[in-house]
Chains A and B, each alone.
Chain A
Amino acid sequence: MNKKKFICISCPRGCSLETEWNDQSDLKVAGNGCPRGIEYANNEIFNPVRILTATVKTSDPEIKRIPVKSIKPVKKDLIPSILNELYKIQIPLPVASGDIVLKNALESGIDIVATRSSE
């Protein structure tokens, strides 16, 4: 029986989770304040993921960078490579919040989108 304690990061509450499992099918989670904690625990043990946020260069001398995020959490160990891809890009303006900046980042199936509209 495996056991692990950790903090859920799904929201600012930061509930303390206690988990037990033999394999992924019988994972028990306690201490979560809402259902998102169960999903978080499952991922954290078997497939750690994180929402990625960064900024991307623009071609505009006034608005030099646009903030971006992954629309869903991505695999933790893919993050450095995705960041490298983002740092190669230069996006033209105008851009609207929600516009895709990098589609299907590194075949993850997850898009990276702008989080600010240029004015």
Chain B
Amino acid sequence: MINKSYDAVIIGGGAAGMTAAVTLSKLGHTTAILERDSSLGGVLNQCIHNGFGLHYFGEELTGPEYAEKLRKRVAETGTELFLSASVISIERNNEITVTAYSAKGVMTLTSKALVLSMGCRERNRGNIGISGSRPAGVFTAGLAQRLMNIEGYLPGKKAVIIGSGDIGLIMARRLKWCGCDVAAVIEILPHPSGLTRNIVQCLNDFNIPLYLSHSVTRIVGKNRVTGVQVSPVTNGNPDYSASFNIDCDTVLLSVGLIPENEVSKTAGVKINPETGGAFVDANYMTSVPGIFSCGNVLHVHDLVDYVSEESERCAGFASDFIKNNASSESSIDVKTGSNLKYVIPNRMHPSNGGRFYMRPLIVKQNGIVTMSVNGNIIKEKKLQRVQPSEMIRLDITPEELAEQEISDSSSIEIGVR
């Protein structure tokens, strides 16, 4: 049995984990990454399309290129890698102990700080309960992406895609570019879920119909999918009187990502039901001292660039914790205000300022995100477009806060209108 100690252990070697490892190593800490796949990179390895890295690296990259840049940076540090390793449990006693296994057997890694960066799993047919038979040919979009781009398989010949999130849209284009038919994309909401850019380059470019306010109410087929029943949705309910059928042999589900926190729960980390990720304080620390969280496992991001930025900040705070430099100044609640689903992190140290990520609940052009203290707006940022599929980021500097005389009893809120 392998027993090793580090300053910091990182669970998950995708964008968040790799960035955290580089940051922590550069700050002088011994680090290790536990990754279940046979190489680092996470979901980036299968995201062969472009659109990554414009902010973080200053150039437009494909997913594999982004991953490779980070992989090279990790290799330049002394970070120890445990690949094809699966974490079973986490315990917090005097130190933090992670139990994992790989082909080499069971191992326990102890550390002063732990970074949770496991990313997400996909919501599947069982989670949303689509009626019908259970033929072969039903995949989550990310699984189909892995099968196509890594393993070299076509999931089928003619697909219907459920959900207009980015993964579904990207897969629509991918299927077309591999000679498959995409009969339709079905979206339950009255507006698309993915980036507008992807509606253009993945649907409009190929004349793939998008049915808004519709739902797949039945999957049909005996051994293999032969079609789906599609119904319009009014007031949240399917209108079966207006149902129609679409022939297909494949169904791809792009119906949401769920932060993969099963192992976090073994440590007693409290999970926020609004995000599916851990509750974190101003320093990205969870409810368990020394355990930090960043990236998609904390909240689902749209841009990997923001994941890397968040991960750098989180790793910096983890470093402070290891060095016992964590701020003893009490932090203040940052409330989730109007038209927002959540704000992360939801606490702040006024002397540090903060960078906040949030998701709106509304769709509009020309919106404004504001931070207010005791009801007075102290910061505003204009947004060309506001929609739930586009994460908003708001920065506040210590200087901007210093003008406000913030005290422990101040009420700070971020909202969008």
Residues of A bordering B, CB below 8 Å: 6-9, 11-16, 33, 50-55, 57, 64-65, 67-69, 76, 79, 83, 97, 115-117, 119
Interface bits B175-205 vs A (CB < 8 Å: 1, else 0): 0010000000000000000011101110001
Are A53 and B48 in contact, CB atoms less than 8 angstroms apart? yes
9 contacts between A and B (CB under 8 A): A8-B197, A9-B197, A11-B60, A13-B384, A14-B195, A65-B149, A79-B177, A97-B68, A116-B45
CB-based contact B54/A11 at 8 Å: yes
Q: Are B50 and A65 in contact (CB under 8 A)?
A: no
Number of interface residues of B (CB under 8 A): 31
Contact among B50, B54, B68, B151 with A117 in the assembled complex (CB-CB below 8 Å): B68
Closest Cβ neighbor of B166 among chain A residues = A12
Distance A68 CA – B45 CA, assembled complex (angstroms): 12
Partner of B149 from A15, A55, A97 at Cβ < 8 Å: A55
**Which A residue sits closest to B151, measured CB to CB?**
A64
Complex contacts, A115 vs chain B, CB 8 Å = 48, 61-62, 64-65
Contacting residues, chain A, for B200 (C-beta < 8 A): 6-7, 9, 14
Q: Find the residue from A9, A50, A64 having the highest chain B CB count within 10 A.
A: A9
Considering only CB atoms, which chain A residue lies closest to B303 in the complex?
A12
Check B152 for interface membership: any CB of A closer than 8 A: yes
**Contacts A7-B197, A12-B197, A33-B384 given; does A54 touch B205 at CB 8 Å:** no
Closest to A57 in B: B152
A81 to chain B: closest CB distance in Å? 12
Contact, CB under 8 Å: A64 / B150 = yes
The yes or no answer to B355 lying at the interface (CB within 8 A) is no
Q: Tell which of B48, B195, B384 has the most Cβ of chain A within 10 Å.
A: B48
Give, as a whole number of angstroms, the nearest-CB distance from B337 to chain A: 24
- Contacts known (A12-B303, A64-B151); A53 close to B49, Cβ less than 8 A: yes
